[in-house]
Chain A
Amino acid sequence: MSLVRLRQVVKRYGTKVSVDHLTLNIEHGEIFGLLGPNGAGKSTTINMICGLLNSDQGEIEVDGESVRRHPLSVKSKIGIVPQEIALYDQLTAVEHLRFFGKLYGLRGRQLQERIDEALAFVGLTDRRNERPGAFSGGMKRRLNIACAIVHQPKLIIMDEPTVGIDPQSRNHILESVRELNRRGATIIYTSHYMEEVEAISTRVGIIDHGRLIALGTIRELLTQVEEQEKLVIETEGLTDDAVEEIKRHASVQRVERSEGVLGVYLRHAQSYLQDMLYILAKHEVRIASLRNETPNLETLFLTLTGRNLRD
């Protein structure tokens, strides 16, 4: 049985529909990537899963229990890493974990062991008695994660946990996600950074305007756009005529032009590379550099919605 089940879930804010008849199953042991642009309904969806928001319609179950009917039981099985760094300036790292551990019913030796494990997991053992004010952005994010895993939940929901941090901390967090999953936790990971989702997810759902527009493994999803490659050509002396002729080529699906940089979306780029170079040479356009970008989730999102993920 699925760990998380959503059936025709709807959430409205006034007249705006934030989540629109969403149906979704998330299996035990998955790292499920929930991808979508800002305002797509990702945060609303996960807030409903962990009982922070009530749905207007539909049913949500976690580990076979209805979120609406058994909210406290469901909450005890979930750890949520919020998008914002939600920490107290007055408390040290260890006091944060003690407080949240107690809220989840941990006491005594068990609590102390879980605190030690959580601090070790996020690499803050040495900084356990310091307050967040003394931490870097990345360390705050890690403490944010530790607060969510201190009770060792079955399901960990991470809502854009890498926003605004340096690449090193980001890698640390992504590696932590994999490790938590290896230890048996199911992860729901939301992001609008498709590279992250591609890197860690076993399955991905793409959400836009509150609707699930694609669902599957990365491989399954990319087969929908495998023929779409992108040639990025930096040019000198690019002319309108050259661009128009490239657009007319049978294999070209779309052309983006920004100053002298040309982005050409086409099927089987390798086969038609010669043609592109020939057209540019014919119009006396010099080529400064050229690279071929393979399709990814960004391409898929663009194909499905006509918009970029980061719009």
Chain B
Amino acid sequence: MRTIGTLIHHELRRMIRAKETFWLLIFMPLLLIFILGNALSGFFDFEDRRIDPVAVGLVVLDEASAETAGALGSEEMAKWLSVRGYPDKERMQDALENGEIGYGVVVPEHFAEKVASGSEAVWELYPGRNADNNRMAESVIGALLDRINFVQSAAIALGSPQAAEAAAAGATAVAGDYVKVMSPDMSGRDYSALQYYAAHMLVMFLLYAGMAAGLSIVEEKESRTMDRIYAAPVKPSHVLAGKIAGHGLVGIGQTLIIIVFTLAFYGVEWGSRYVQLLAACLFTVAASVSLAVIIAALAPKVRTYQMIFMALTMGMTFLSGGFTPELGSFLERMGEFTLSYWASQNFIHLMLGSADAIVREHLTVLGCASAGLFLIAALLGRKAVSHE
């Protein structure tokens, strides 16, 4: 234990003495959180985002469906749709072509009758030129059609139009908003750009802190100081433990400084669940030092290690949305396979006060990833610190 203590102390002293440690691990994350948090705050300003109603042209060819179709023009729908009536399909299509309206709906003849009898009944939908408007209109109209389908299903199942009407009344009673905007944590709260980048930058620079353990191993091998250590009565497991613990402690210290500083000076709320916050930090640090040991085992040269190290850290941060939150569905899906994603989501959910189940789920995934990486690192550790 004394030898490991000596090696930990040695590692800490070397890191503290290196000028780049402060700049890279403490100053840079705080600076980036400040810059990105302020420069990209527009992405997160939900209050300022206004959605204009889509102009929808409506043609009702079935008088019995006039009331149902009229629901599109109700006050409830006015937030999303601005309905204009047209006497026939052709005029509505002309208006759609001219850009007077953004979307078109035709209620065909005998529609109500078909619904009541349970036979096939559809509205004709005419998308316009703007994809966003089309999505908006389809979402709202889709919700209304769902209710109609419900009535139709009830008619088929219950066998009588009266029962279907009764079911329809029930369906209307339970129907809520047609379109609902929710924040990503499902808690109903939004986060600020500073919070978002505080979480992501903390994770990115924790990866740096952990991965510096691997860099230290590879540098000592290249400068032959590792030989010198092994010339003393020291086991490889001592060296590995010293490196991991030394850099792990630096990572924990770095986390504390970033959290306290961003809380005090940037007003970043990290939530009040300190145990979970500590667990998220420890899992992230453990995962990053484990990853460092794995890379050190596979890349024995400093330059190769640095290249892999940079690519991995930047790549994971990018895919997890650490640089910009809007990546597109494919990249976002890829991001879910990164350590950075689960670590940063943990911090974000803790900041937002998300439900315990959500926090637990994210912590479990992060913990499992961390344990898996730690296991691999333990298997490859001897190779990583080997000096032959």
In the bound complex, do residue A103 and residue B6 qualify as a contact, i.e. CB atoms below 8 Å apart?
A: yes
Q: A72-B235, A102-B3 are in contact. List 15 more A-B contacts (CB 8 A).
A: A47-B227, A51-B231, A52-B227, A52-B231, A53-B388, A75-B231, A75-B233, A78-B231, A84-B223, A86-B223, A87-B225, A88-B225, A90-B18, A103-B229, A103-B232
A-B contact pairs, 22 of them (CB 8 A): A51-B230, A51-B231, A52-B227, A52-B231, A53-B388, A72-B235, A75-B231, A75-B232, A75-B234, A76-B233, A80-B228, A82-B227, A82-B228, A86-B224, A90-B13, A90-B17, A90-B18, A95-B13, A102-B6, A103-B233, A105-B233, A148-B231
Interface residues of B (CB under 8 A from A): 2-3, 6, 10, 13-14, 17-18, 223-225, 227-235, 387-388
> When the two chains form the complex, which single residue of B13, B223, B234 contacts A103, counting CB atoms closer than 8 Å?
B234
The reply on A91 being an interface residue by CB < 8 A is yes
Complex Cα–Cα for A50 and B227 (A) = 10
* Number of A positions contacting B (CB below 8 A): 30
Complex Cα–Cα for A147 and B6 (A) = 16
CB contact under 8 A between A100 and B227, given known A52-B387, A91-B14, A95-B13? no
Give the interface SS of chain B, mostly helix, strand, loop or mixed.
helix
Q: Which residues of B contact A135 (CB under 8 A)?
A: none
Chain A, residue nearest B7 (CB): A103
Output the least CB separation between A71 and chain B (Å).
Answer: 8
Identify which of residues 199-242 in chain A touch chain B, using a CB-to-CB cut-off of 8 Å.
none
Complex Cα–Cα for A86 and B226 (A) = 9
Chain A, residue nearest B231 (CB): A80
The reply on A104 being an interface residue by CB < 8 A is yes
> When the two chains form the complex, which single residue of B6, B14, B232, B234 contacts A90, counting CB atoms closer than 8 Å?
B14
> When the two chains form the complex, which single residue of B6, B13, B227, B233 contacts A91, counting CB atoms closer than 8 Å?
B13
Interface residues of A (CB under 8 A from B): 47, 50-54, 71-73, 75-76, 78-80, 82, 84, 86-88, 90-91, 95, 99-100, 102-105, 147-148
Output the least CB separation between B239 and chain A (Å).
Answer: 10
In the bound complex, do residue B14 and residue A73 qualify as a contact, i.e. CB atoms below 8 Å apart?
A: no
Complex Cα–Cα for A73 and B234 (A) = 10
> When the two chains form the complex, which single residue of B10, B17, B231, B388 contacts A99, counting CB atoms closer than 8 Å?
B10
Q: Which residues of B contact A73 (CB under 8 A)?
A: 233
Complex Cα–Cα for A54 and B6 (A) = 26
Complex Cα–Cα for A299 and B304 (A) = 45
Q: Which residues of B contact A72 (CB under 8 A)?
A: 233-235
Complex Cα–Cα for A178 and B233 (A) = 26
Q: Which residues of B contact A104 (CB under 8 A)?
A: 232-233
Chain B, residue nearest A74 (CB): B233
> When the two chains form the complex, which single residue of B6, B13, B227, B232 contacts A86, counting CB atoms closer than 8 Å?
B227
Complex Cα–Cα for A72 and B3 (A) = 12
Output the least CB separation between A112 and chain B (Å).
Answer: 15
In the bound complex, do residue B14 and residue A88 qualify as a contact, i.e. CB atoms below 8 Å apart?
A: yes
Output the least CB separation between A272 and chain B (Å).
Answer: 50
In the bound complex, do residue A52 and residue B230 qualify as a contact, i.e. CB atoms below 8 Å apart?
A: yes
